[in-house]
Structure 1
């Protein structure tokens, strides 16, 4: 049942990702692609034409300065007027195209805002799905009234299993030895009823059906006992254990 719930949750996350990708393509990537393949390509082309016209104009000016005969001077000046006219015309064309960039930038800014909004919604949805899954799995692994009746302290309320119970962090530090029991402390065997994830370094993580040794300490009160598993030691709630002797 828990695997089914995990699968359903990841299907929801997959659908949310699919919707996010589709929204991003429609609202951000497609407009940007259209701009780059349309207006931007035209602007780049016209700027290259303008550069060519400027080089032609500079060449005509150079020929006017170097003309030695009257006829050559007149021809060079005529070519200069034509080159100047074509250059001025190309300047106006390029200027108009560049002035249109302002409105294009405003449009792309709105597209970026839409993309950011879609991304925020996607991560919020995924976060909510995982929270719901943790609540569902916590409910599955919560102790029943029958199990609580087998414990020495049946009236205490057990803690719900946290998400770290099902996805342990391998980099988490091991449980530390909080205090050493005195030689006269009576140790008992206990069976772990269900998984328990340590909340801090003073506790120890346990797996259901493990067999461990426990003993009581006055400083822990009635709700906790000190548990030992191999070389690890830490406190654990009594409600998660079945004392065997």
Structure 2
């Protein structure tokens, strides 16, 4: 370990802390940054803030369960692969399939449950693809800015603050050196008188000048350090400015990612609509069914010689003409004995 370098760094840290404290208390002058640079810094901060909010809300949209999101964050922190978990649509599909097996898959209700379960399964698969594509095409570029690009900006920003503090420290040292030199010149210009008070005053002034000279640098040395600090500060300001102007490129990249997100959503919802519409058409084209005495029969317009069921033990499903289209709802009896 370089002890000398460590001591220099510690001294610089203490000087910066003192300068920052005096600025906070209004006891020291502060060099203001260029207004253009301040505007770029504010824009970078706003971009970071809103990007974090968009990422968080998008993750909530894709995974509403906060426990699952916390688990994913835990695995991500350990650099482990996230465990596969079923989507809500896939869980609903499993329940529908299990219900159909237990209630009778060959009944109209059971067979329809199977069809709806298959629909939910396909929607769940499409939802997983949407989550995967959104994470790759939309969230990853946004996270790259918050985790990498903005971190670089913050590092350069801290360097700029340090160089600005060093510049103000150099300015303060130059002022002290000029003050000590001015008082020394004034002390030498005034000849001593014969009075005792003049000698005492001269002694105190001499001690003050010696004290200032002890803690103040020579004017030439202070001016040289100021020029160096100003040059370093200007160079760091330019580096930070060029880096911050790259926010425009970041916005353009995020815009392309946003287009990809909208395209992925459009594809997902179009696929879900098509799957749902196909099942709806299939169910709507099914022939009406009549159930009586716990048996299902196709409703036809052909006359039958069999004994017709009474309305007390019969109900109609699926688009039965003249009746309400709600499964299990019994029609109102008409022309029955006792209703005259």
TM-score, normalised by the number of residues in structure 1: 0.62
1:53 and 1:86 in contact (8 A); partners too: yes
Q: Distance in 2 between matches of 1:101 and 1:72?
A: 44
Mark the CA change 1:140 to 1:63 in structure 2 (over 3 Å): closer, same or farther.
same
Runs of 5+ consecutive residues of structure 1 not aligned to the other structure: 152-187, 198-202, 217-245
Q: Distance in 2 between matches of 1:74 and 1:49?
A: 27
How far did 1:66 drift? Answer: 2.6
SS state at 2:332 partner: strand
Q: Distance in 2 between matches of 1:34 and 1:15?
A: 27
2:275 to 129, 143, 148: 129
Query: Partner of 1:232 in structure 2?
Result: none
TM-score, normalised by the number of residues in structure 2: 0.46
SS state at 1:140 partner: coil
Residue 193 (structure 1) aligned with residue 303 (structure 2): no
SS state at 1:149 partner: coil
More helix by share: 2
Say how many residue pairs are matched: 175
Quote the RMSD (CA, aligned, Å). 2.9
1:27 and 1:114 in contact (8 A); partners too: yes
Q: Distance in 1 between matches of 2:326 and 2:265?
A: 38
1:43 and 1:97 in contact (8 A); partners too: yes
**Offset from partner CA, 1:17-67 (integer Å, 9 cap, x none):** 111111111111112222222221101110111011112212221222232
Q: Distance in 2 between matches of 1:146 and 1:4?
A: 20
Residue 213 (structure 1) aligned with residue 332 (structure 2): yes
More strand by share: 1
Residue 18 (structure 1) aligned with residue 145 (structure 2): no
Superposition pairs of residues 94-173 of structure 1, within 5 angstroms: 94-140=240-286, 142-143=288-289, 147-149=299-301
Runs of 5+ consecutive residues of structure 2 not aligned to the other structure: 1-110, 182-216, 291-296, 304-309, 336-340
Query: Larger C-alpha radius of gyration, 1 or 2?
Result: 2
Residue 69 (structure 1) aligned with residue 190 (structure 2): no
2:236 to 48, 71, 90: 90
Q: Distance in 1 between matches of 2:289 and 2:311?
A: 20
